[in-house]
Structure formats: C-alpha cells, structure tokens
Amino acid sequence: YPVFLFFLLVRSRTIGELLAPAAPFDKKCGRENWTVAFAPDGSYFAWSQGHRTVKLVPWSQCLQNFLLHGTKNVTNSSSLRLPRQNSDGGQKNKPREHIIDCGDIVWSLAFGSSVPEKQSRCVNIEWHRFRFGQDQLLLATGLNNGRIKIWDVYTGKLLLNLVDHTEVVRDLTFAPDGSLILVSASRDKTLRVWDLKDDGNMMKVLRGHQNWVYSCAFSPDSSILCSVGASKAVFLWNMDKYTMIRKLEGHHHDVVACDFSPDGALLATASYDTRVYIWDPHNGDILMEFGMVRFWRIDEDYPVQVAPLSNGLCCAFSTDGSVLAAGTHDGSVYFWATPRQVPSLQHLCRMSVRRVMPTQEVQELPIPSKLLEFLSYRI
C-alpha cells in the first residue's frame, strides 16, 4: 500500500488536526484514512475515518474551531443528522457534522455539484428518478467491495448504488463542468464512466491498463482524463469520444497519483520511483522533474516548504488552495497552511492564455521564441 511522506518549507505552519476516535481495534486493518476531499464550493471537508465510516464536517466551522481551541480537534463517534433543505426558499440550514456508514472500507471520495443547463447524455430523460438542482451537493464513495455509493451531503440519504466494478474502487473524480459525469478507477484494471443525471447509468468502460488503476483526474475543461496505475505509463483519454489519446512514458516504477494544473497546460504525476514529473499533456513532453513529494514552485529548483508527516496515505488541497490536508494510517487528518506568494502578472497572463489554447495553438502564434517558451512552461 502507498505510504507517502508529505513535505511543506522550513517549518510549515500547522493549521490543525482531526484525530480519529480511539477504540479497542485501533491497530487492526481497516482504520486507515485512504482518502480526503474538499467540496468544490469549500463548504465541506470529508475523510474516510476508517472501519467503513466517512466523516463530513463544515469546513468553515472546522477552521474556526482550530482558531478557537488550538490545533487539535478530537472527533467524536456520534452520528449527527443534517437538516433537510427548506422547501419554501430553497435555502439550506446551517450545516453540521455528519457521519455516514458506507457498509465497507472506503478507499475513495469525490464531491460533485450540478449545473442544470448541463443535460444528461441520455436521450430519454422522462423516467429519471432524480432531478439534480444547482444547490445539490453529492458525495461519491468508492468501496472495498467494488461498489460506488452516491449520497446527498445535506440529508445523508443514499441516492445511488453503482455495482459494476469487481474489485476495490481506488479513485473517483467528477467532471468539473457540472455535468455530474463521474469516473471511477479500480483494481479490476478498468475505468468506468457514469452519468449521475441518467440515474447513475454506466456510459463507458475504458480499457487499456494491464494492472490496477490507482488514480484518475479530469482536465479543467473536462475534455481529457488522465489515469495512472500499477505500470510505468500515464494514460490520456479523449472524454468526448472515450478513446485513448496517448501513453506518456518516462517513469521507472508504478505511477500512483496524477492531477492537472488549473489552466490545463500542465500535468503532474507521482511514482514509486520517488519522482514527480510535470508533463505537457498536449504533446507528451516532460517539462520538469522533482525528487520526492514536496511543495514546489514550477519556476524554482528547490522546494518552497518542508514539514514531515509520518505514515501519510493521501492528501488534498482546499478549494481555495490555502490549506493542505493529509490523511494517515491511524485514520487522522493533519492540516498545513500552504506557502503563499503573490503570482507575477506574467504568470497570470500565461494562465489566461493557456486556459483557452493548447500547446499546438500556442506554438503557431507569430511571437518571439522566448515568449513561446514562456507560454509553453519551458522557462
């Protein structure tokens, strides 16, 4: 199982801790925190607390508790029901902590929210059970038995139970465009594409991995999916045609994690070979290479911050990027403030360009070579 060390500079500032409740079976298998997630709107934080439970906490309340009571916040085991949405004004009551029993060990979590104008790809929608509104917030949980359960975050109600995988569902990711298209990565060597607006219909099976699939991530425009697993290759998929675009070769061991930059111009992958590669996903070039997993700036040759964490298993940035959460082997979560620096106007302009132009279009621009290199993240 992957055990990572996460590092943040000089002594990174600890924000707080959420410690899993003590129990007689503390040392037994199943307590591990395999996954953490922040809601897209920053409203909730979720983590697999071990032994098949998922804890949901309002993120603003969590931060406030850290400020009021210091870094430690020991969670209790009582299950709290969240109030339902008001039927008259459509406004949600104040969120509270919530515990969900998923029925099996939880390996993956993902929040999803709907954009009403993003219609289901299903032609006949008259018979659908669910009409997901803009104020809907869903939580997908990937389980040890291969099932994926979809929950209403505000009510704790189980909405869908997706059952096609035959092995552990190791990762989940929603398309960022609000379509409620969900992709799951499994140890059964497949990726599966689900349309939650079509009552969880499985639209496609993506085959190509010869072994376990560990992680998957959408590009910001939802057009490309990256997937990695128990092989040295990085897979890129066209999510309009559900076809493989290319394999990226370069790692020397299994690739365990992947993610895109906010402008979609860069792809980061991490491997058991202790290397992090930064790729241009549009042409497959390796632009940067980092040793170990630390906090890096893409324009520096050294990590910005370093702070050790023992027995780490997973990590995720908060929605605004200001906090890093890391889950550990004992089911707890630790938080650090992200190193903050004001981005240069040059970089902001580059991100604006790269959000709408892939590498090939940038290289065709009639501009000086140095500017082309900058826009291509080569300098």
In percent, the amount of the chain with pLDDT more than 70 equals: 84
Residue predicted with more confidence, 135 or 295: 135
**Residue 273 above 60 pLDDT?**
yes
Residue predicted with more confidence, 162 or 87: 162
Mean pLDDT in residue range 121-150: 84
Helix, strand or coil for residue 314?
strand
| pTM of the model as a whole | 0.85
**Residue 105 above 90 pLDDT?**
yes
Please state, rounded to an integer, the average pLDDT across all residues of the chain: 85
Mean pLDDT in residue range 175-184: 95
What is the β-pairing status of strands 303-305 and 295-296? antiparallel
Mean pLDDT in residue range 47-62: 89
Mean pLDDT in residue range 64-74: 70
Mean pLDDT in residue range 88-92: 44
Least confident of 33-37, 214-218, 231-235, 337-341: 337-341
CB-based contacts of 200, cutoff 8 Å, min separation 6: 150, 160, 162, 194
What is the C-alpha separation between 121 and 144, in angstroms, rounded? 29
Residue predicted with more confidence, 20 or 269: 269
Q: What is the pLDDT of residue 235?
A: 97
Q: What is the pLDDT of residue 97?
A: 84
pLDDT band at residue 124 using 50, 70 and 90 as cut-offs: low
Helix, strand or coil for residue 12?
coil
Q: What is the pLDDT of residue 14?
A: 81
Determine contact, residues 76/118, Cβ cutoff 8 Å.
Answer: no
Q: What is the pLDDT of residue 93?
A: 52
**Residue 252 above 50 pLDDT?**
yes
Residue predicted with more confidence, 300 or 259: 259
Q: What is the pLDDT of residue 285?
A: 95
- In this structure, what is the dihedral angle of CA atoms 4, 292, 46, 96, given to the nearest 10 degrees? 110
What is the C-alpha separation between 131 and 125, in angstroms, rounded? 10
Residue 297: phi and psi, rounded to 5, are -100, 140
Highest mean pLDDT among 2-16, 75-89, 101-115: 101-115
Mean pLDDT in residue range 57-71: 83
SS3 annotation, 257-292: EEEECCCCCCEEEEECCCEEEEEECCCCEEEEEEEC
Q: What is the pLDDT of residue 73?
A: 54
Least confident of 102-106, 217-221, 286-290: 286-290
DSSP state letters, 69-115: H-SEEEPP----PPPPPPTTT-PPPPP--EEEE-SS-EEEEEEEE--
> For 303-356, how does the pLDDT look when each residue is reduced to its tens digit (9 = 90+)?
777 766 777 888 899 999 889 898 988 888 989 888 888 888 999 999 999 999
**Residue 29 above 70 pLDDT?**
no
Residue predicted with more confidence, 61 or 265: 265
pLDDT band at residue 250 using 50, 70 and 90 as cut-offs: very high
Residue predicted with more confidence, 359 or 29: 359
Q: What is the pLDDT of residue 4?
A: 37
In percent, the amount of the chain with pLDDT more than 90 equals: 58
Residue predicted with more confidence, 290 or 5: 290
What is the β-pairing status of strands 36-38 and 14-19? unpaired
Helix, strand counts (H, E) of the chain: 4, 27
Q: What is the pLDDT of residue 304?
A: 75
**Residue 44 above 90 pLDDT?**
yes
Number of neighbours of residue 364 by Cβ within 10 angstroms = 10
**Residue 206 above 90 pLDDT?**
yes
Q: What is the pLDDT of residue 125?
A: 62
Highest mean pLDDT among 80-84, 117-121, 350-354: 350-354
Distance of CA 280 to the CA centre of its chain: 20
Determine contact, residues 36/332, Cβ cutoff 8 Å.
Answer: no
